[in-house]
Amino acid sequence: MSRIPTPDLSALAAAQARQQQLTKPAGSLGQMEDLACRLAALQGREVPLPLTPAITVFAGDHGVCAEGVSAFPQEVTGAMVANFVHGGAAISVLARVNQARLEVVDAGVAASLDGLPIVHAKVRAGSGNIRREAAMSAAEVQQALDVGRNAARRAIASGATLLIAGDMGIGNTTPSAALICRLGKYSPEAIVGRGTGIDDAGLALKRQVVADALARVAAGLDGCGVLAELGGLEIAAMAGFYLEGAAQGVPLLLDGFISTAAALAAQAIDPAITPWFIASHCSQETGHQLALAALGLTPLIDLGFRLGEGSGAAAAIPLLQQAIALHAGMATFAEAGVAGKN
């Protein structure tokens, strides 16, 4: 496993000093100032360079769908993968408008996706039913992590300097909720939400399914062990994507509920990853704010998103680019001949 570097504190200090000299009251650009300084530390430069984003959407199916936890049938996963590559999905549009590389990876879709122009890296055809059994074996977790690591390597080799992981998997809010409960030490009532739009009876069932899954799993497991018991193939691949991106010194822009569950799993595997996460938005999905709190992150925007796919992160890309542009392009008081604060 590659060692994850630490952010450059000297670059951070230099960026913070520059912010104090720009022609504005200190702190008047709020989170945009902090964001520019964080990116400076992650790039190791007083003035960070504009970002080249890459989005990788990982797809997988979930045996827990047999418990009736989703409003949509499992077949939708494969159909949406086809929609991604044909350009009709939200993430397809957002990738185009942000000039971001988009790759779709089959990490464990139940259906055959032969013939689609995607990365075919299926570990197995869907994960186990976490209410009754482990999602994956220990070996399958490692395979799924490697699927994500390889995807990060491809994105970085293509020139990416910002990585976004998206998800597609009917039923995947259930294992994500289980992971967040276990790793963040929360109750199902605090975390489990309506996902694709289940009714009150469905929500009660889903909470019970997560509670049963949590009760089934032994204490004392490491991050990979928890991921094997409660995760999913695409979630494990996302965790591997994050771990490899951080190891190569590339910032990681988190999306929503599933993305944050994968981030918590990656953090449990290697806590050194935490400074490389940037939270794009707060999802409407119940428990996402608590999941972000478990990572110590504050989201940049809250637009009521709950789609997944990487869509909330993609929508936030312009904010990161603007934070860098402001930091780089504004004049200092000395340059502008403007009197500073008394």
Domain that holds residue 192: 53-321
User: Are both 205 and 332 inside the same structural domain?
Assistant: no
User: Are both 132 and 265 inside the same structural domain?
Assistant: yes
Tally of structural domains, the chain: 2
**CATH number for the domain harbouring residue 17:** 1.10.1610.10
* pLDDT at residue 2 in the model: 65
Answer yes or no: is 2 within a domain.
no
In the 3-class helix/strand/coil scheme, how is 41-88 assigned residue by residue?
HHHCCCCCCCCCEEEEEEEECEHHHHHCCCCCCCCHHHHHHHHHHCCC
Answer yes or no: is 123 within a domain.
yes
Answer yes or no: is 149 within a domain.
yes
Name the DSSP class of 158.
Answer: T
In angstroms, the CA 286 to CA 284 distance is 6
Answer yes or no: is 232 within a domain.
yes
User: Are both 20 and 113 inside the same structural domain?
Assistant: no
**CATH number for the domain harbouring residue 186:** 3.40.50.10210
Among 261, 258, 245, 278, CA closest to 150: 245
Helices H, strands E: what count in the chain?
14, 6
Answer yes or no: is 299 within a domain.
yes
User: Are both 306 and 246 inside the same structural domain?
Assistant: yes
User: Are both 195 and 250 inside the same structural domain?
Assistant: yes
User: Are both 330 and 270 inside the same structural domain?
Assistant: no
* pLDDT at residue 197 in the model: 87
Q: List active site positions.
A: 309
User: Are both 175 and 260 inside the same structural domain?
Assistant: yes
* pLDDT at residue 64 in the model: 98
* pLDDT at residue 258 in the model: 98
The strand pairing partners of 108, in sequence order, are 60
User: Are both 201 and 248 inside the same structural domain?
Assistant: yes
In angstroms, the CA 212 to CA 178 distance is 10
In angstroms, the CA 251 to CA 63 distance is 32
Answer yes or no: is 1 within a domain.
no
Name the DSSP class of 127.
Answer: B
The beta strands (E) that lie in the chain are given as 53-60, 101-108, 119-120, 162-168, 252-254, 277-279
User: Are both 119 and 266 inside the same structural domain?
Assistant: yes
User: Are both 25 and 141 inside the same structural domain?
Assistant: no
Among 22, 1, 50, CA closest to 266: 1
Answer yes or no: is 3 within a domain.
no
* pLDDT at residue 196 in the model: 82
- 266 contacts: CB under 8 Å, gap ≥ 6: 223, 238, 239, 240, 242, 243, 246, 273
User: Are both 144 and 73 inside the same structural domain?
Assistant: yes
Among 200, 162, 89, CA closest to 323: 162
Answer yes or no: is 202 within a domain.
yes
User: Are both 16 and 88 inside the same structural domain?
Assistant: no
| pLDDT in single tens digits along all 342 residues of the chain | 569 999 999 999 999 999 999 999 999 999 999 999 999 999 999 999 999 999 999 999 999 999 999 999 999 999 999 999 999 999 999 999 999 999 999 999 999 999 999 999 999 999 999 999 999 999 999 999 999 999 999 999 999 999 999 999 999 999 999 999 999 999 999 999 998 889 999 999 999 999 999 999 999 999 999 999 999 999 999 999 999 999 999 999 999 999 999 999 999 999 999 999 999 999 999 999 999 999 999 999 999 999 999 999 999 999 999 999 999 999 999 999 998 776
In angstroms, the CA 126 to CA 196 distance is 19
* pLDDT at residue 340 in the model: 73
